Structure 1
Amino acid sequence: MRRSLAKAISWRITGSVDTFVVGWLFTQNIPTATAISVIEFASKILLYYLHEKTWEKIAWGKKENTESHTRSFVKAFSWRIVGTLDTMIISFFLTKKLIWALQIGTVEFFSKIFLYYLHERIWQYLSYKRLKSQKKEGFTSKV
């Protein structure tokens, strides 16, 4: 649970920065971009945590103490669908402009797939390093 929560928080920080930048690019309004980011921070922490817990139950693409690149990509894509819908709904609610909501969601769809994939690979690397360190010390625990 701690690992999933830490991943959720680290991803939300990364995602919120991206949301702010993309929101500002389209609205040219810092308070609106900030509001979108803050609301998403809260909604997506819960959504991401649920997404991660769901993927923990899926064995496909898992290897011993790691996961395949394909699994990371599919997780990124499935999360992005959920995230894009959330982004569009929040953006529309705050701006009342469907075109901005669609534009923000479309740009984020692509930027966040890339960012999420990198995030997954970094977490896999950290898990691998932790496991390798524990084996050197003569004990292992679930990573």
Structure 2
Amino acid sequence: MTSTQKRHIVKTITWRIIGTLDTIILSWVISGNPLTGLKIGAAEVISKMILYYLHERLWFKSEASDSKWRHILKTISWRFVGTMDTMLLAWLISGDPMIGLQIGFAEVITKMLFYYLHEKLWYKSNYGLEETDRNTRTIE
């Protein structure tokens, strides 16, 4: 199966919208400051889009083919990268390493669930795939 760069870019954008909203809400609740939530969410837009795009390209080249395990492994690897980024940004923006840790740990749960669902929806989508791939692709 081949995939176009357009698919990965659109997938990156849709995930970033979901992820940013989750980060803003969690950061606001944990820090108690809506402005801190917005700052952390805004900072993540750039860092996460770059990291997600690179993650997506690496996984596309992966040999992992079983879709259920592939989705689970992608979820775990992305969550690790994303959590480290969130904790660092939240610490730098809030000035409190504990806020960074709390936001990071909360996101492990919410983001893994959202990411898994996002992956399953994109797996079922033919958007951005070559015509020959649409005809041979099996969807769970």
TM-score (norm: length of structure 2)? 0.87
Q: How many residues align?
A: 130
Q: Which has the higher contact order (CA 8 A, sep 6+)?
A: 2
1:9 paired to 2:8: no
**Long gaps (5+) in structure 1:** 63-67, 135-139
Equivalent runs, 1:56-71 vs 2, <5 Å: 56-61=60-65, 68-71=67-70
Partner of 1:51: 55
Partner of 2:93: 94
* Identity, % of aligned positions: 38
1:28 paired to 2:32: yes
TM-score (norm: length of structure 1)? 0.85
Q: Find the aligned partners of 2:104 and 2:25 in 1 and give their Cα distance.
A: 12
Q: Find the aligned partners of 1:142 and 1:61 in 2 and give their Cα distance.
A: 15
Equivalent runs, 1:100-119 vs 2, <5 Å: 100-119=99-118
1:101 maps to amino acid: G
Cα distance per residue 1:104-128 (max 9 Å; x no partner): 000001110110000000101122x
CA gap 1:130/1:102 in 2 versus in 1, 3 angstroms: closer
Cα distance per residue 1:17-53 (max 9 Å; x no partner): 0000100111111111001001101110000000000
Compute the RMSD of aligned alpha carbons.
1.8
- Contact 2:7–2:128 (CA<8 Å) still a contact in 1? no
Partner of 2:81: 82
Q: Which runs of 4+ in 1 moved over 2 A?
A: 140-143
Cα distance per residue 1:74-102 (max 9 Å; x no partner): 10100000000000000000111111110
Corresponding residue SS for 2:125: helix
Corresponding residue SS for 2:63: coil
